[in-house]
Chains A and B, each alone.
Chain A
Amino acid sequence: MAPPVINDFTLAVATVNGSGSASSNTILAKTIFRMGVPVAPKNLFPSNIAGLPTWYLVRVSERGWQSRSGRREFTVAFNEATVAQDIKLVTPGGVLVIDEDLSASKAVGRDDITVFVVPMAAIAKDFGPDPRLRKLLANMVYVGVVAELLGLDMTVLEQTLADQFNGKAKVVKLNLDVVHAGVKYAREHFDKASCPFRVQSRQLTDGKILIEGNAATALGALVGGATVCAWYPITPSSSVCEGFIDLAKEYRVDKTTGEARFAQIQAEDELASIGLVMGAGWAGARAFTATAGPGISLMAELVGFGYYAEIPGVIVDVQRVGPSTGMPTRTQQSDIKSCYRLSHGDTEHIVLLPSGPQELYELTAQSFDIAERYQTPVFVLTDLDMGMNIWMADTFPLLTEPYDRGKVLDKEALKAVENFGRYKDVDGDGIPYRTLPGTHHPKAPYFTRGSGHTESASYTEDSDEYKVVLDRIKRKITGSTAHTPAPVITGEGDIGLIHFGSSSFAVDEARDVLAREGLRTRSCRLRALPLHAEVLEFVRSCRSIYVVEQNRDGQLTDIIRLAVPECITRIRSILEYGGMPMSATPVVQALSVGKREPAHV
């Protein structure tokens, strides 16, 4: 028998949503993480409350790869509705742990995998007379079986389970008893050596955390100084605002007076969410909303108003599959074009493109500085894969830089100003000065409008006066690259990969695979729009460029092609838009020697 594979496989649990498996899966992932082995969990769930298929994938990767592997070496089948497909998807040489109650357990029909049949319900039965409780406890049976087969450290698992249930002694004991029953069953009925996968303790997760992306975004908003949070519930963004509210309740409420140093409003719709953000931003508060594609569509008009009237605000877009309602619980990167150019007329917005939890935290915090510096709505573009999954990351630093409140003239500053023109380019950078409502100075008041206005904020229908302001805004937004995060460029060679957000994890892994095949690549990870000059240089310096993104039409590819028209034939897309978290496979396939399309140069 071949030696077992250590710390390199994907554990897949196929179950039904609403059945209570989330705790079990989290305990398994966290136990492995706490054993010092990197994990990348992905929850593939339906747009439904209970009763539909759901899969939880835990990629165990000693090398720390965070993207979906596309393989399922170790499957736990727990759902009658999907069992046939689940059996089929087990990677050859893999393992299937199957609930005895599933019809397929009698005849799995795969002789290339190792099968362990477990009477989950029968084992759980001894612990819960109540059928509902028993159902929940059955999830703990597989935790025990999997722990035994993979050789998980039981001390770590016990602690993780206790943490999961907040140390509630009775609940912890009951669940632990069931886990041990699962372990016992596996010990008595299976030969552990026949399981070809093992987890072995390492020290690769020291100083790291496991955090849901939306929680990292929420923390960014907290540390970034957001004081007004306006939102409308929508998958997959709701937990950004809910997370912010929880944090703000913890850190922003005066324990003695009850005073809250924030205001959150669950609005009647996204039109109101963005209206609240614009009103608050106009009056000087750091305000944000979080939404998904349908919300972005609704916000279009007021975002255009914010662009033209020059009002700061932050919009977090946790992208999901579109168009229309699309697939609300599946992931995509298909809002990049609409966010970049949202609203009628000529507009262009600053879009930040964080990749992974630490950037979700840092760039969300930074987005408030950028919004106030450039007096404009700023998008933080994330997605369901990053937002609703748990990711491994380095422990975040507490940001301590002072806030950049931008060019605000207060009463004192106005004394030194001869003529205050709200929309005048005083410094040559396209960024005007603003005053905040409530400023007690005769020069301060002005009238904000979305209709044509002059440099001094008065109404106009004059072509020249209109163009002066519109052209200045263009310069302002173009110049925002002075403060937005630069692309991260690495590697050598003349084949370039451009990517952002959740795609970047798959690209990193693909480049490693390709390098071992002998193909060196360069990588340009975008972190903001408008494009930085380095991106254009990158394109010009590569023989072939592949833009990797998760949408059908190559939206970022288009943006780049327009920016570097002389290189248009050298730029092509690698697209993945089926809604599953991106894996390295399509990138590897597109670039593997022999499969690569020749460059048109």
Chain B
Amino acid sequence: MSETTASTNHIGLARADYGGAKSTLCLGCGHDQITRHIIAATYESGVDPYNVAKTSGIGCSSKTGAYFINKGYGINSVHGRMPSVATGAAMANRHLVVLGVSGDGDTASIGMGQFVHAVRRNTNMVYIVENNGVYGLTKGQFSATSDKGAKVKSGDVNDYADIDLCQIAMDLGCGFVARSFSGDAKQMVALIRAAIAHKGFALIDAISPCVTFNNLADSTKGFAWLKEHNVTLHELGFVAPYDAVQVEQAPGSVVSVDMPDGSHLVVHKLADQEHDPTDRAAALAVLQRDRGEAGHVYTGLLYCDPAASSPPLEESKHLPDAALATLNEKDLRPSREQFAELMASFR
């Protein structure tokens, strides 16, 4: 690849090579922040844009696939069915970098069935839920992640507890579970980069305020509330194998999570937090604390299985290195002798 310069990444591409169409979402939308983080993360990690499969379902979040990486291939499928479509693409061509962008309606309601099964199968993909706790595109109905007791303009009150997608992913044995906030660029970029490096299903539940329908003062998905109540579990830095930076070793305060591609997620512990993201029990405890203590949301890498102990789907399917899409007659048909023998068995 070409020389890295100040304005290009290690494969010689500029940040602009990761850009997309102009967003049509509301001004100030959290989703647009996440779009920028995706651009930054893929640029910084030097992801080959032609290998990117941008997959989405339906909703405001799902539109954003058009707003980043124009050089990638997008598929804006149908509501709640992105996980299966993404899995199909991943099977057809295991070299694709599959980025899934979804929302709380698309994932936690209509798409819950597909979401849990994609986690369970361990499809090798990054799955970002742009979680704003409201149906935006249909103008403000409650979603399955809306706060219990939340009100909409008509005065209706949400009677049901919210669904915690990270908790569900943990229960299903997901090897990479993160919660983040669209306003925390540094954390999200590091998380997206680590999620891409992770082999298998990587969930980022990204709280992403809806400025039009759910940016209320008391909404746990609103900017004002998050500014006050977002507790970051740690400071994250991502170090790729080609980065000249040495992972700083300061015992007690830094954990380096080694990713399978040779990169490292550097986790700086904070004075008031002790979370080790490779500790499954600790991750579950954080989620319990999160639910128990109204008034806080914990963001960061909740859990990462650095050894990727559960193989990604293409490995459990024993796929060859060549993409299935490229196989031809010679690879796929039985030989004349084999066929004749098979026919004889039907006599």
A residues at B contact (CB < 8 Å): 34, 209-211, 219, 222-223, 225, 227-228, 230, 247, 250-254, 257-265, 267-269, 271-285, 287, 301-302, 305, 309, 395-396, 398-399, 402-403, 435-442, 444-451, 458-459
Give the docked Cα–Cα distance between A281 and B89 (Å): 8
B residues at A contact (CB < 8 Å): 21, 48-51, 53-55, 65-66, 70-78, 81, 83-93, 95-96, 113-114, 117, 121, 314, 317-320, 323-329, 331-334, 336, 338-340, 342-343, 346-347
Q: Which of B48, B55, B73, B320 contacts A259 (CB 8 A)?
A: B320
Residues of A contacting B54 with CB < 8 Å? 447
| Minimal Cβ-Cβ distance residue in B for A458 | B21
When the two chains form their complex, are residues A268 and B91 in contact, meaning their CB atoms are under 8 A apart? Answer: no
When the two chains form their complex, are residues B50 and A225 in contact, meaning their CB atoms are under 8 A apart? Answer: no
When the two chains form their complex, are residues A395 and B343 in contact, meaning their CB atoms are under 8 A apart? Answer: yes
When the two chains form their complex, are residues B76 and A227 in contact, meaning their CB atoms are under 8 A apart? Answer: no
Q: Which of B87, B324, B334 contacts A222 (CB 8 A)?
A: B334
Residues of A contacting B21 with CB < 8 Å? 458
When the two chains form their complex, are residues A278 and B73 in contact, meaning their CB atoms are under 8 A apart? Answer: no
Q: Which of A262, A267, A444 contacts B117 (CB 8 A)?
A: A267
Q: Which of B65, B121, B326, B346 contacts A284 (CB 8 A)?
A: B326
When the two chains form their complex, are residues B346 and A209 in contact, meaning their CB atoms are under 8 A apart? Answer: yes
Give the docked Cα–Cα distance between A272 and B83 (Å): 8
Shortest Cβ distance from residue B271 to the other chain A in the assembled complex, whole angstroms: 44
Give the docked Cα–Cα distance between A284 and B327 (Å): 10
Give the docked Cα–Cα distance between A61 and B317 (Å): 46
When the two chains form their complex, are residues A285 and B93 in contact, meaning their CB atoms are under 8 A apart? Answer: yes
| Minimal Cβ-Cβ distance residue in A for B336 | A398
When the two chains form their complex, are residues A251 and B113 in contact, meaning their CB atoms are under 8 A apart? Answer: no
Residues of A contacting B85 with CB < 8 Å? 275-276, 278-279, 282
Give the docked Cα–Cα distance between A398 and B336 (Å): 7
When the two chains form their complex, are residues B81 and A228 in contact, meaning their CB atoms are under 8 A apart? Answer: no
When the two chains form their complex, are residues A278 and B93 in contact, meaning their CB atoms are under 8 A apart? Answer: no
When the two chains form their complex, are residues B91 and A228 in contact, meaning their CB atoms are under 8 A apart? Answer: yes
When the two chains form their complex, are residues A279 and B55 in contact, meaning their CB atoms are under 8 A apart? Answer: yes
Give the docked Cα–Cα distance between A450 and B63 (Å): 11
When the two chains form their complex, are residues B346 and A210 in contact, meaning their CB atoms are under 8 A apart? Answer: yes
Q: Which of B74, B81, B329 contacts A271 (CB 8 A)?
A: B81
When the two chains form their complex, are residues A287 and B92 in contact, meaning their CB atoms are under 8 A apart? Answer: yes
Shortest Cβ distance from residue A562 to the other chain B in the assembled complex, whole angstroms: 29
When the two chains form their complex, are residues B333 and A225 in contact, meaning their CB atoms are under 8 A apart? Answer: yes
Residues of B contacting A445 with CB < 8 Å? 49-50, 70-74
When the two chains form their complex, are residues A275 and B329 in contact, meaning their CB atoms are under 8 A apart? Answer: no
Give the docked Cα–Cα distance between A535 and B24 (Å): 49
Residues of A contacting B328 with CB < 8 Å? 225, 403
Q: Which of B76, B314, B325, B347 contacts A283 (CB 8 A)?
A: B325
Residues of A contacting B73 with CB < 8 Å? 435, 437-438, 445-448
In addition to A225-B329, A280-B88, A285-B325, 10 A-B residue pairs with Cβ atoms within 8 Å of each other are A222-B332, A275-B114, A276-B88, A279-B90, A280-B92, A285-B91, A437-B72, A438-B95, A442-B71, A447-B73
Residues of B contacting A264 with CB < 8 Å? 317
Give the docked Cα–Cα distance between A399 and B121 (Å): 35
When the two chains form their complex, are residues B93 and A211 in contact, meaning their CB atoms are under 8 A apart? Answer: no
Give the docked Cα–Cα distance between A219 and B333 (Å): 10
Shortest Cβ distance from residue A186 to the other chain B in the assembled complex, whole angstroms: 28
Q: Which of B87, B113, B323, B338 contacts A279 (CB 8 A)?
A: B87
Shortest Cβ distance from residue A106 to the other chain B in the assembled complex, whole angstroms: 43
Shortest Cβ distance from residue A448 to the other chain B in the assembled complex, whole angstroms: 4
When the two chains form their complex, are residues B319 and A260 in contact, meaning their CB atoms are under 8 A apart? Answer: yes
Q: When A272-B117, A279-B86 are in contact, do A284 and B325 touch as well, CB less than 8 Å?
A: yes
Residues of B contacting A446 with CB < 8 Å? 73-74
Residues of B contacting A269 with CB < 8 Å? 113
**Complex A-B, nearest 8 residue pairs according to Cβ-Cβ distance, in ascending order:** A279-B88, A275-B84, A284-B325, A285-B92, A283-B92, A209-B346, A437-B73, A280-B88
Most chain A Cβ neighbours within 10 Å, of B51, B318, B326: B318
